[in-house]
């Protein structure tokens, strides 16, 4: 199954997506400016989503498909052939059950072609933590400039590109604007992939040509057919491939007015911290932003437990401090000193036992929040790939970044460096690297849109003619 999942993701992302399966670089704890309140048009109390509009998500999609899938076009036919090699939902069924219903409902309510709801499958394999090392992030693989232009907050506490609600709203607004400009959905989708400037120049060079006749980058000539082929296969499915997915989003929304420690909230409500982050992947820290209101998505199956956890949550402020273990101290003594619990200490510090050692540094939740010491969302560390590098004479952050294909900013963030302090010879740095077998390619849109991921091991077997 793992092999099949990897193959499907490579198939989807080789010719279309702009996200990688790598993870965002760790942000520096020196960036502690609180975010503006972020909240969309969500209810202020827990609310059950609207009633289902069809038996399952796939039915809603089929009924809303409105584009010409052009399945006789060579590029579309070959894309469909590639997709048939493995079941379409292998490896992404769980995220599809978490996120796809909401995306489909948003597209339906806007009256847009339902094919657009499939873009996150191609862009990120429905992984909100998918990250391109040139800056694209989230389900829709938005880069910072595009995301901020459409009102998405990105700061020390929160990255709305990973948030299901904020990123979907921004991406659909962007696609709508592209359609308003080009008057054609295939051209709008092409511009989402390669950038408006590239599409404008192609149209100027061939007035009156449709998408398939325009001279566009090879990647874009594959990207649009990939989407059309995926839609065509879904439209033709008779239930033997696609398992039904409830069209009602599996979460409810609440607006929080104050700061919460997610580890405490999970513990009080006997909830899974991973489940909280699965539905709220935009949060960068284990503590929510200090200034509300802000939205929290709660698994519908756990809404009663969450309600009780909110009611039982301690009223005193969350406090984080750093404690260095002294000789003779144990977790019980430290917990008593800070009015916390041994379980909390173990959870905050990912300890597998009660054994600690002198001079060990422990993160303790107590009475004064110290933003610079808040741990990160643990899912941001999943499958992170680094290389270690020892600083040599003559090195600078810019030179190291250029050598390894990263940026000065990323190096500062990953290593929590003071940019005003010079590097020391022999200093060890963590350098983020892209996942193996993938390389980034760039086009005009890289200045204002996403970078692309190409699986170099599959180029020969996934060649498309367009």
Catalytic residue IDs: 123
Burial class (CB in 10 A: 0-12, 13-18, 19+), 240: exposed
State the Cα–Cα distance between residues 33 and 459, nearest whole angstrom: 44
Angstrom CA distances, 402 to 21, 187, 410, 426, stand at 22, 34, 12, 19
**Which structure tokens are listed for 294?**
């802000």
Q: Within 13 Å, how many C-alpha atoms sit on residue 227's CB side?
A: 30
Helix or strand or coil: residue 308?
helix
- What is the secondary structure of 284-304 as a DSSP string? -BSB--SS--EEEEEEGGGHH
The CA dihedral of 383, 33, 254, 51, to the nearest 10 degrees, is -60
β-pair type (319-324, 428-432): unpaired
Q: Cβ contacts of residue 248 below 8 Å, gap of 6+?
A: 49, 50, 51, 52, 101
- Name every residue whose Cβ is closer than 8 Å to that of residue 457 and which is 6 or more positions away in sequence: 10, 437
Compute how many other C-beta atoms are within 10 angstroms of the C-beta atom of residue 22: 20
Q: Is the Cα torsion angle 184, 187, 191, 193 positive or negative in sign? A: positive
Angle in degrees, CA 76, 81, 85, rounded to 5:
145
């Amino acid at each position: 199954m793992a092999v099949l999942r990897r193959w499907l993701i490579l198939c989807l992302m080789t010719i279309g997506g702009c996200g990688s399966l790598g993870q965002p670089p760790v942000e520096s704890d020196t960036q502690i400016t609180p975010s503006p309140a972020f909240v969309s048009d969500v209810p202020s109390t827990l609310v059950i989503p609207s009633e289902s509009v069809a038996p399952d998500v796939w039915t809603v999609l089929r009924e809303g498909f409105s584009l010409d899938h052009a399945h006789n076009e060579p590029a579309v036919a070959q894309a469909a052939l590639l997709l048939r090699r493995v079941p379409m939902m292998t490896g992404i069924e769980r995220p599809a059950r978490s996120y796809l219903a909401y995306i489909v409902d948003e597209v339906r309510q806007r009256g847009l072609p339902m094919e657009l709801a499939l873009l996150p499958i191609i862009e990120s394999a429905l992984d909100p933590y998918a990250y391109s090392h040139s800056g694209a992030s989230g389900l829709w693989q938005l880069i910072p400039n595009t995301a901020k232009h459409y009102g998405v907050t990105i700061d020390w506490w929160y990255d709305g590109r990973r948030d299901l609600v904020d990123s979907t709203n921004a991406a659909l607004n962007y696609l709508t604007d592209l359609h308003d400009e080009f008057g054609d959905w295939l051209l709008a989708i092409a511009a989402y992939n390669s950038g408006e400037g590239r599409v404008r120049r192609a149209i100027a060079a061939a007035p009156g040509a449709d998408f398939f006749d325009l001279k566009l980058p090879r990647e874009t000539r594959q990207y649009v057919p990939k989407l059309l082929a995926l839609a065509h296969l879904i439209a033709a499915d008779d239930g033997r491939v696609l398992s039904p997915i409830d069209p009602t989003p599996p979460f409810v929304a609440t607006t929080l007015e104050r700061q919460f420690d997610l580890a405490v909230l999970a513990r009080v409500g006997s909830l899974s911290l991973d489940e909280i982050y699965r539905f709220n992947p935009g949060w960068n820290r284990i503590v929510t932003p200090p200034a509300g209101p802000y939205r929290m998505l709660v698994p519908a199956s756990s809404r009663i437990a969450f309600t009780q956890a909110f009611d039982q949550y301690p009223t005193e402020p969350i406090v984080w401090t750093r404690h260095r273990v002294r000789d003779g101290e144990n977790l019980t003594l430290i917990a008593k000193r800070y009015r916390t619990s041994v379980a909390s200490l173990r959870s905050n510090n990912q300890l597998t036992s009660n054994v600690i050692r002198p001079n060990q540094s422990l993160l303790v939740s107590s009475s004064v929040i110290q933003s610079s010491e808040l741990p990160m969302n643990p899912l941001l560390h999943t499958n992170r790939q680094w290389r270690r590098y020892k600083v040599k004479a003559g090195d600078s952050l810019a030179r190291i970044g250029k050598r390894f294909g990263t940026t000065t900013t990323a190096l500062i963030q990953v290593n929590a460096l003071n940019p005003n302090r010079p590097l020391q010879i022999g200093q060890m740095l963590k350098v983020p690297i892209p996942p193996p077998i993938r390389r980034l390619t760039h086009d005009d849109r890289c200045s204002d849109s996403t970078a692309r991921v190409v699986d170099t091991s599959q180029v020969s077997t996934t060649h498309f003619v367009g």
